[in-house]
Structure 1
Amino acid sequence: MSKISPITGHYITVDVDGLEYKVFYLENGSGQPLVCQHTAGCHNHQWLGLLEDSEITANYRVIAYDLPRHGKSDPPENTEWWTEEYQLSADHYANFIIALCDALELKDPIFMGSSFGGNIALQLAYHFPERFDAVIPVEGADYSPGFYLDWWQHPHANAAQVCASGTWDLMAPQSPDADRWKTWFYYTQGSEAFKGDLHFYSVDHDLRGKLGDIDTDQCAVVMMTGEYDYLTTPEDGARTAGQIKNAEFIEMKEIGHFPMSENYPVFASYLRQALQLVREKTGA
């Protein structure tokens, strides 16, 4: 039996809002594109379990990218990015994802993101419903204030340790120690971008009072939240889904804020439910 993973990696040039990015992505499988966004301050390794799940990749082309400034995706190539503080905005974030899907020439993709990726999934459904067959916001909500804090990059703190340790209590105690420590390790590598990501998560993302305008006839919405997530709680997820016509909500038991990396087998069982709901709603 081969020990070589079926996952392949590529770079693609993405032009958006006057900026040029060299974007790295991993992919595996064939069928409808399933585009996956990692959590704030992290990278696409969070999706390795999904990328190697042969049951899902038999029917979906799973694509997990590194957002610019994360993992193997550099900051923009054509500007002096180091002269300005990184603060991710809702508009640029959404525009980047649209530009990435265009560059990859994807047809009727499903978008799935977790945490700040779950929030951008809602933004995409609101602003660009015609571009996606469905969105699956994981650990997302209409509004998630209070996490954009200076001490994520305080000079008296070890930023890598601070950012990583902030993930620990967000994971379920039932999740395997090896996977919890791996998720912790991922966050030691992304501390420089973490605070800027949280500008979108807690400052620029606010869809309160707007969710009723999402056109689920064009873009189905299936939300998923882990019971141990205290940032965007199951109550937040259910409340958000309840404001979207024909949206579905799944509470994931015995899992927390990083479900795809902290305990993939548990997450996978719920993801299969979500994908089945998408198929029922879209007739795929």
Structure 2
Amino acid sequence: MSRISPVTGHYVTFEVDGLEYKVFYLENGTGQPLVCQHTAGCHNHQWRGLLEDEEIASRYRIIAYDLPRHGKSDPPENTEWWKEEYRLTADHYCAFIVALCDALDLRDPIFMGCSFGGNVALQLALRHPDRFGGILAVEGADHSPGFYLDWWQHPHANAAQVCASGVWDLMAPQSPEADRWKTWFYYTQGSEAFKGDLYFYSVDHDLRGRLGEIDTDRCPLVMLTGEYDYLTTPADSARTAAAIGNCTFIEMKDIGHFPMSENYPLFRRYLLQALQAVERRKPVPV
């Protein structure tokens, strides 16, 4: 018996910093937009469990996009992008996400990003608190140094295998084997962009000394980090959350750096807690 998923895919075209992008996104559900950013070097397949979650889709319009150069989103259309090394910066990353939300005419969206998406979530909380109805930073921290490395694209190595194998032990051993292998497989497909993403993650992103500027009264912020994440440890995220006024931190037991794809049923429990926390703290319109 065949089953057709309720998830649909679309392209939207818009400009960011003078560059034209044709961006692919998946969506399902109705209600407040929940905009989901995948991890570095990956794509929106990571969010399939959430996209097909009937209960959450009954309350939220879930949107999971492919960042340019990832998945089904091409590099910019109006420049010779192949002549420059790709290095993602915080300025461009934040501008892209806001432009995407504007292009889709999203009102009061909740943003959720994981890993380098969790780090940009903190950047958005600082830079654009009035554009979002809430922010969920998954596996994020104020600073994540040490992972912008040449060997992600070393000519003596199979870059796809290196990138995929480099994420294997970031997952919890309790996570289902099939889902861990799917996450590994996703990373075999995104190796070309991985190093450039990590430029943002480990070099350009640094909010040390600025966390006190994040105003959670204007935009509720929840941080979630898996017990088995050694890139951004629970201690790193807890330290970051403690420096932000009225920020909720949730440590996720028995899960690692890719919670939405390595073990969605477990991640779901924590996500519901986070969404409830945002709902409780939603600012009252003036």
Q: Report if aligned partners of 2:111, 2:121 keep a CA contact under 8 Å in 1.
A: yes
Residue 75 of structure 1 deviates from its aligned partner by 0.1
Show the counterpart of 1:180. 180
1:28 and 1:241 mapped to 2: Cα distance? 31
Show the counterpart of 1:247. 247
1:224-239 map, 5 Å: 224-239=224-239
Paired positions, count: 284
1:209-231 deviation digits (Å, cap 9, x = unpaired): 10111111111100000000000
Show the counterpart of 2:25. 25
Show the counterpart of 1:34. 34
1:120-135 map, 5 Å: 120-135=120-135
1:173-201 deviation digits (Å, cap 9, x = unpaired): 00000000000000000000000000000
1:133 and 1:276 mapped to 2: Cα distance? 13
- Does 1:106 pair with 2:97? no
2:150 and 2:251 mapped to 1: Cα distance? 32
Q: Report if aligned partners of 2:22, 2:73 keep a CA contact under 8 Å in 1.
A: yes
Show the counterpart of 1:281. 281
1:2 and 1:98 mapped to 2: Cα distance? 38
2:211 and 2:110 mapped to 1: Cα distance? 19
Show the counterpart of 2:70. 70
Amino acid at match of 2:183: T
1:214 and 1:228 mapped to 2: Cα distance? 27
TM-score by length of 1: 0.99
Amino acid at match of 1:274: A
Residue 64 of structure 1 deviates from its aligned partner by 0.1
Residue 2 of structure 1 deviates from its aligned partner by 6.2
Q: Secondary structure at the match of 1:200?
A: helix
Amino acid at match of 1:205: H
1:166-177 map, 5 Å: 166-177=166-177
Amino acid at match of 2:204: D
1:165 and 1:142 mapped to 2: Cα distance? 26
Residue 156 of structure 1 deviates from its aligned partner by 0.2
- Does 1:199 pair with 2:185? no
Q: Report if aligned partners of 2:217, 2:283 keep a CA contact under 8 Å in 1.
A: no
Residue 283 of structure 1 deviates from its aligned partner by 6.0
Show the counterpart of 2:82. 82
TM-score by length of 2: 0.98
Identical aligned residues as a percent: 79
Unaligned runs of 5+ in 1: none
Show the counterpart of 1:6. 6
Q: Secondary structure at the match of 1:22?
A: strand
2:194 and 2:103 mapped to 1: Cα distance? 26
1:172 and 1:28 mapped to 2: Cα distance? 28
Show the counterpart of 2:216. 216
Residue 65 of structure 1 deviates from its aligned partner by 0.0
1:132-172 deviation digits (Å, cap 9, x = unpaired): 01100000000000000000000000000000000100000
Show the counterpart of 2:54. 54
Q: Secondary structure at the match of 1:175?
A: coil
2:159 and 2:268 mapped to 1: Cα distance? 32
Q: Secondary structure at the match of 1:282?
A: coil
